[in-house]
């Protein structure tokens, strides 16, 4: 059973506090634990950057691309139920998707970033400026060509997760946010988690003194985001859009439940079976190994599971340097990270409001400090 060195954990806590105190990271929450224990969460910083309003209890973070493996695990419930297979072609469910040479794209390719789709659509910013619904983003995806034939390369693609969510909708009749709420969040007691904030989070009802929207800390904006008051990460539009590639809002407390479930091979704290051990194993195993047309260095050095990024050894960004080869997780562009090490039986959650791509400067350093605290 792994044990946490209190002095080393305190070093990680002090590091997080220091960065919040000196303003380099506006808000930060960290937690770590095992399948049945948790240390933290502890939080530092402010909710609003300009006027330094205090961070509330249980802050709700926009976790950006950590959304992807959560959506992937939801989608894999369809596989478990015999409703789809990973080898199904996308056009079986979305006939219009087959334009521009995309007929051969399989569900498996969407989950492993091997489809050849771009990360974002060419009109991503314009669609956000127009406060367009997700259906408009999907329409453009269907018209796009591929960068390479499916299964012959690796290119990180957010667009594929919108396609996955639409397949889920057409198979189950439920929109992805509702499906995840019913099948994942409610069973795990993730009461402050939503793929797209519902209207009630913004309620001005006098009986609701502290609506959930007031618990969301602002992300420090950079580059083009600064010009997008009506569509940037801090806008109501984006918080409510529910982008399946990056729109999940959640707390560290809720993510603890998700991480612990995976360390229990798919079982909740009250012994509900959310996923079979076979599903958890498939999702967190390097899927690129069996794709013979993927370049060898990608298969060996930059592995992907089903929605999960596996640890890339000799690659410090975000995950840091001390995690084992079987660790899986994901990072988010808003400055977030979650990893789970099944070999050691530990997990870490780092949520911030300081974008850190491409190096994950603060994330990698905190990840190292937390990993080193376990023995």
What is the torsional sign of CA 49, 51, 52, 56?
negative
- Answering whether pTM is above 0.95, one says yes
For tokens 């530990």, what's the residue? 346
Buried b (16+ CB within 10 A) or exposed e, 162-197: bbbbbbbeebbeebbbebbbebbbebbebebbbbbb
Q: What angle do CA 68, 308, 249 make, to 5 degrees?
A: 30
- Ordered by where they begin, the domains of the chain are 6-60+177-372 (3.40.710.10), 70-174 (1.20.58)
DSSP symbol at 294: S
What is the residue-level pLDDT of the chain in tens, covering all 375 positions? 899 999 999 999 999 999 999 999 999 999 999 999 999 999 999 999 999 999 999 999 999 999 999 999 999 999 999 999 999 999 999 999 999 999 999 999 999 999 999 999 999 999 999 999 999 999 999 999 999 999 999 999 999 999 999 999 999 999 999 999 999 999 999 999 999 999 999 987 655 566 899 999 999 998 778 878 899 999 999 999 999 999 999 999 999 999 999 999 999 999 999 999 999 999 999 999 999 999 999 999 999 999 999 999 999 999 999 999 999 999 999 999 999 999 999 999 999 999 998 899 999 999 999 999 999
- The CA R_g of the chain, rounded to the nearest whole Å, is 20
- Which pair of tokens denotes residue 62? 């926009």
């Amino acid at each position: 059973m792994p044990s946490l060195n209190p002095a080393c954990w305190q070093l990680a806590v002090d590091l997080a506090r220091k960065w919040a105190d000196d303003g380099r990271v506006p808000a930060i929450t960290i937690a770590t634990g095992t399948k049945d224990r948790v240390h933290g969460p502890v939080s530092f910083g402010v909710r609003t950057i300009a006027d330094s309003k205090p961070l509330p209890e249980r802050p709700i973070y926009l976790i950006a691309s950590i959304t992807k493996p959560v959506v992937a695990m939801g989608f894999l419930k369809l596989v478990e139920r015999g409703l789809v297979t990973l080898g199904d072609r996308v056009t079986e469910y979305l006939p219009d998707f087959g334009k521009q040479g995309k007929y051969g794209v399989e569900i498996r390719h969407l989950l492993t970033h091997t489809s050849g789709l771009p990360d974002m659509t060419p009109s991503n910013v314009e669609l956000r400026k127009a406060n367009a619904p997700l259906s408009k983003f999907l329409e453009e995806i269907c018209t796009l060509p591929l960068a390479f034939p499916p299964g012959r390369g690796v290119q990180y693609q957010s667009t594929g997760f919108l396609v996955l969510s639409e397949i889920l909708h057409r198979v189950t009749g439920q929109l992805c946010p509702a499906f995840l709420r019913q099948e994942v969040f409610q069973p795990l007691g993730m009461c402050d988690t939503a793929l797209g904030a519902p209207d009630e989070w913004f309620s001005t009802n006098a009986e609701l003194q502290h609506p959930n929207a007031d618990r969301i800390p602002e992300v420090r904006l950079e580059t083009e985001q600064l010009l997008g008051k009506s569509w940037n990460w801090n806008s109501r539009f984006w918080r409510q859009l529910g982008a399946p590639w990056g729109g999940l809002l959640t707390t560290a407390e809720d993510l603890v439940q998700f991480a612990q479930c995976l360390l229990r091979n798919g079982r909740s704290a009250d012994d509900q079976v959310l996923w079979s051990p076979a599903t958890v194993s498939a999702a967190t195993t390097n899927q690129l190994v069996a794709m013979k047309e993927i370049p060898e260095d990608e298969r060996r050095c930059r592995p992907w599971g089903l929605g999960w990024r596996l640890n890339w050894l000799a690659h410090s960004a975000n995950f840091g340097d001390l995690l084992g080869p079987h660790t899986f997780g994901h990072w988010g562009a808003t400055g977030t990270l979650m990893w789970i090490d099944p070999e050691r039986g530990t997990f870490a959650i780092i949520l911030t409001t300081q974008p850190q791509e491409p190096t994950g400067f603060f994330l990698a350093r905190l990840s190292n400090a937390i990993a080193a605290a376990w023995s």
